Amino acid sequence: MERVERSINGKDIKIIIGSGLENEINRAMENYSKNISFVSRILKEKYRNKINAIYSNKYFIMDGEKSKSLRYFNIVIKKLLTAEIERNNSVSYIGGGTIGDLIGYAASVYKRGVNLTAIPTTLLASVDSSIGGKNALNFMDIKNAIGTFYNPDYIFDDVDFLVNSDASLLKDGVAESMKMALIKDKNFFDYLMKNTINSIHNKESLEYIISKSIKIKLDVISQDFFDLKKLRYLLNFGHSIGHALESYSDNRISHGTAVANGMVLESYISYRSGFSDPFYDTIRSAISGYGIPVIDFKSIETEKLLSYIKNDKKVEGKKLNMVMLEERGKAEISEIDFQQLSNYINDYRART
């Protein structure tokens, strides 16, 4: 078991990484007179005993991108009001990143903010979405169009949920961990390159990957919590293209697959923009080695993809602030206009 404590934007965050964390969770819940947990329905049967061992009132809810909507937000708020949750009580979630976004957003605006506990149950949520305080809903087919910055008090990364699941479900999380490694830690990327989806499907490896990933993310966000200095933009490597791919496919392409392929294309754009040697083939091989689908961009219409990128929060003055990879473990932010972006995407499509 590992404990990580960090003060972010004046708030102390406690992160516990390990297995069998039910007692740790219950001790944290004792700090509040009342707690309500929103739990992913897909966990109800397989993890019944583990979930029942956590002392809180539970409400099971659908997950997936469709849950990040005003419709589900209304359901959650009504439940909080019915349960008479007060500001000194606690709201928690047990599930993946979409439930984390929904409940995190609700907790941030309900009575102007209520205590939040995160219990992520996917590798993607453990290494990325539960860390950093970003919560969002989708609106009018635009991903994360409505959102807040709001940190949990506690994050419990219990790898039992990961070890006891199918190894293939780790792929999305691996993509985000690769992103962390590529922007900040060459040795971590080399570690991921040497492994496979099956070789990391164990308690020790997963705890290591979660620990390395969250420490990289915490280091970045501690310098720029509200994205005001553009330092936090580094964590969006692969996401400008990735989020557009999700919207383009009506979320049929998973977040991890979209980000993984976004990293390949954005690395190609970095190369064409003069920031790096050609490295995109290495990233493409790395994601393929974990069984993450490689997208044929010939099937993607450039202008339609760009129409979604134009809604990216990193667009300023009709230019995109894009993460440019310089080498393994090093990246920077640079502006690129949309005509140039279109040209490079079309060039990449011609190569694949």
Query: Contact, 203 vs 116, CB < 8 A?
Result: no
Alpha helices in the chain (DSSP H): 22-29, 48-52, 70-82, 97-109, 123-124, 160-163, 171-184, 186-194, 203-221, 239-248, 255-272, 280-289, 302-309, 338-351
Q: What is the pTM of this model?
A: 0.95
CA quadruple 7, 210, 119, 233: dihedral sign: positive
Structure tokens at 139: 């609106």
pLDDT at 337 (0 to 100) = 96
Residue 231 binned pLDDT confidence (cut-offs 50, 70, 90): very high
CA distance 4 to 188: 19
pLDDT in tens, 193-216: 999 999 999 999 999 999 999 999
- Please tell me whether residue 200 adopts helix, strand or coil conformation: coil
pLDDT in tens, 4-33: 999 998 889 999 999 999 999 999 999 999
Structure tokens at 265: 């294309």
The percent of residues above 70 in pLDDT, for the chain, comes to 100
Question: Looking at the chain, how many residues does it have?
Answer: 352
CA distance 97 to 176: 12
Neighbours of 244 (CB within 10 A): 23
Residue 133 binned pLDDT confidence (cut-offs 50, 70, 90): very high
pLDDT at 309 (0 to 100) = 96
Relative to beta strand 11-18, strand 319-327 is: unpaired
* Contacts by 77-83, CB closer than 8 A, 24 or more apart: 77/106, 77/110, 79/36, 79/38, 80/36, 80/106, 80/110, 80/114, 83/34, 83/36, 83/57
CA atoms within 13 A on the CB side of 19: 13
Radius of gyration for the alpha carbons in the chain, expressed in angstroms and rounded = 20
Structure-token match 């809180």, residue found: 56
CA distance 50 to 40: 13
SS (H, E, C) 30-61: CCCCCEEEEEEHHHCCCCHHHHHCCCCEEEEE
CA distance 232 to 331: 12
CA distance 249 to 309: 13
Structure tokens at 120: 């992520």
pLDDT at 141 (0 to 100) = 82
333 CB-near residues (< 8 Å, 6+ apart):
230, 233, 234, 321, 322, 323, 324
Q: List domains and CATH numbers for the chain.
A: 2-165 (3.40.50.1970), 213-351 (1.20.1090.10)
Query: Which helix or strand (DSSP H or E) is residue 334 part of?
Result: strand 330-337
- Please tell me whether residue 322 adopts helix, strand or coil conformation: strand
Q: What is the DSSP string of 100-168?
A: HHHHHHHHHHGGG--EEEEEE-SHHIIIIITSS-EEEEEETTEEEEEEEE---SEEEEETHHHHTS-GG
182 CB-near residues (< 8 Å, 6+ apart):
189, 237, 263, 283, 325, 328, 329, 331
pLDDT in tens, 63-85: 999 999 999 999 999 999 999 99
Neighbours of 240 (CB within 10 A): 25
pLDDT at 143 (0 to 100) = 86
Is residue 105's pLDDT more than 90? Answer: yes
Q: What is the mean pLDDT of residues 339-351?
A: 96
Q: What is the mean pLDDT of residues 274-291?
A: 96
pLDDT at 108 (0 to 100) = 98
pLDDT at 352 (0 to 100) = 78
Q: What is the mean pLDDT of residues 300-308?
A: 96
User: What does the mean pLDDT of the chain come to?
Assistant: 96
